[in-house]
Amino acid sequence: MFVLFIMIPMILMIPAIYYFYRVLRRVSRLFLEEETKKTKRICGGLGIVIMLLSWPMYGFRGMVILHFLCISLIFDLCNFILQKLWIHGKYKTWNVLYQSEVLVIFLTGAIMIFGLWNMHQVTRKDYTIYTKDMKKKRTPKIALISDLHLGTTMDAAKMQTYADDIKKTNPDLVLLAGDIVDENTSKAEMEKIAKVFGNMKSTYGTYYVFGNHDYNTYVKDPNYTAAQLENTFEAAGIHVLTDEIVNVSKEIVIVGQRDLSDSARKDITKEIQSIPKDKFVILMDHQPGDIKSNSKNGIDLQVSGHTHAGQIWPTGQLMEILGVNQINYGYRKIGSYQVIVSSGIGGWGYKVRTGGRCEYVIIDCR
């Protein structure tokens, strides 16, 4: 985790500083008749300052600068192609636009505006899955919510409007797949959201598993502890599952795992394998991991979140390619085992989403 979030961004800053130095020199040549050593030093210093402002690189400023760099590199490629085609020198307007970085700045701003708008567009995502025969032929309708990160894009009052929409679908189960709150959620808002979800009526109740941010381990002085969160949710009537197996009905079993980041997480594979084969087994696990092994353990449906479907494009796709996340988003089937990974109803860190859409999920089992 340290290497991923600290060392890699620090290493990437070195070539980024040099690239900004080159960009700033290119811009200066557009306005200055002669480039001096002083100009080069100023460009170098500004390049360092810009990259220092981007730290931490997973923050909002870092995200903006990263988008600027990527778009600028694309324009560099376009300019290289134009030069090879001997067109570059013929179009003075292109030369000015390219050297000034005006188009890069405009596109970066446009993407940020889109991301701000997109983050607040919550949609309903429907899945229909087919299950093995159940004794009473009653298959559940499931409402899945994950990655609210309460306080980033909405408060408990706003979440209540989506909870009301979900109630209208008459769900049999409400599943909260982690990161409902995070390190920036106040204790008062955490208590309000517990009441919102606690009041969501369904046939078999509301079940919750911890996400990596719910534990509040990313800050020194959390607004509340994981134990306080658990007690508050339980008092509101929400079933908190920590490596537990619960018989929801005669046909349905829910397995709820602690998050992968929790050192107290237990291996309950044997317990899962001992569940009668005629049961419909639902696994709640915040991070969509262990896909291959889970497919062999008699699990019918796994629900997860965590990935945000790549909140900032194309991070989700890259994380899946690199193997950090086994599934970035959506539905996958391996034999009788099915997995649904939600993009989440909110987002983490900042109110920008350039990858995927915010959603709550309705799963119709047949």
pLDDT tens per residue across span 83-134: 777 665 567 788 888 889 999 999 999 999 999 999 999 999 999 998 866 5
For residue 265, give every residue at least 6 positions away whose Cβ sits within 8 Å of its Cβ, in sequence order, or none. Answer: 243, 257, 258, 259
Backbone angles phi, psi at 221, to 5 degrees: -120, 80
Q: Is residue 254 pLDDT above 90, yes or no? A: yes
Give the DSSP H or E segment for 359: strand 358-365
Determine the pLDDT at residue 134.
Answer: 58
Which residue has 């497919």 as its token pair? 295
Work out whether strand 206-208 and strand 239-240 pair parallel, antiparallel, or are unpaired: parallel
List, for residues 219-233, the tens digit of each pLDDT value: 889 999 999 999 999
The mean per-residue pLDDT over the stretch 193-209 comes to 97
DSSP, collapsed to helix, strand or coil, labels residue 278 as coil
- Local confidence band at 139 (pLDDT 50, 70, 90 cut-offs): confident
Average pLDDT over residues 66-78: 91
Q: How many residues does the chain have?
A: 366
Write out pLDDT tens, residues 148-171: 999 999 999 999 999 999 999 999
DSSP state of 268: -
Average pLDDT over the chain, rounded to an integer: 90
In SS3 terms, 171-200 reads as CCEEEECCCCCCCCCCHHHHHHHHHHHHCC
Q: With contact defined as beta carbons under 8 Å apart, do 63 and 352 qualify? A: yes
Q: What is the pLDDT of residue 3?
A: 58
What is the reported pLDDT for 278?
Answer: 87
The secondary structure element, H or E, covering residue 16 is: helix 8-31
pTM over cut 0.85: yes
Going across the sheet that includes 239-240, the strands are 122-129, 358-365, 141-145, 173-176, 206-208, 239-240
Q: How many CB atoms within 10 Å of residue 46?
A: 16
Contact between 293 and 315 (Cβ < 8 Å): no
% residues pLDDT > 70 (the chain): 95
Amino acid of residue 173: L
Calpha distance 290→306 (Å, rounded):
14
The 10s digit of each residue's pLDDT in 281-338 is 999 999 998 898 899 999 999 999 999 999 998 877 777 777 777 899 999 999 989 9
Query: Which H or E element spans position 96?
Result: helix 92-100
- Percent of the residues in the chain that have a pLDDT greater than 90, as a whole number: 65
**Domains present along the chain, CATH in parentheses:** 2-117 (no CATH), 123-365 (3.60.21.10)
